Amino acid sequence: MKYAILVRSAPAVSQAPTTAVHFARAAMAAGHEIVRIFFYQAGVLNALNTLCPAQDDALLPKAWHELAESGTELMVCAASAARHGVLSADEAKRYGHPHPTLDEAHFVVGGLGSWVEAVQLVDRVLVFGDGR
């Protein structure tokens, strides 16, 4: 089965991102495919390269990295990312920000069209979080 996952919550305020990671790992271990994990609204904060999580949350960034390194596409919504200050090198330059804040080694930027495309390619869509 093919899945697309939408993450809408920030890591510090919700268990939703951690639950999304657990689901993705379990689905892949069972032989399913995760076509794309799309980060929207406050969910884009999972892609910050400046995250300093509390000790009990420290495994979440590493888990995203492992998913990306296994071939799962981690994509942040361009508009949500800019609104939340999650900037690629190009966007940082465009907005006059001195440093990029997007973890570009593991996350890519895309639009809602990319999310719609993923939804059309999969059997199931899962949404984690409420936008906070």
Give 20-68 pLDDT, tens digit per residue: 999 999 999 999 999 999 999 999 999 999 877 776 666 899 999 999 9
Burial of 48 (0-12, 13-18, 19+ CB in 10 A): buried
Looking at the domain that runs over 2-128, which CATH code has it been given?
A: 3.40.1260.10
**Ordered alpha helix ranges (H), 70-121:** 78-83, 89-94, 112-121
First and final CA of the chain: distance in angstroms?
29
Strand 108-110 relative to strand 74-77, pairing: parallel
Q: How far apart are CA 5 and CA 81, in angstroms?
A: 17
Q: What is the pLDDT of residues 58-99, one digit of tens each?
A: 689 999 999 999 999 999 999 999 999 999 999 999 999 999
52 flagged as catalytic? no
pLDDT above 90 (res 127): yes
Say what the pTM is: 0.95
Q: What is the pLDDT of residue 112?
A: 96
The helix (run of H) or strand (run of E) holding residue 16 is helix 16-29
Catalytic-labelled residue, pool 45, 77, 87, 118: 77
The percentage of the chain sitting over the pLDDT mark of 70, rounded to a whole number, equals: 96
Q: Where are the domains of the chain?
A: 2-128
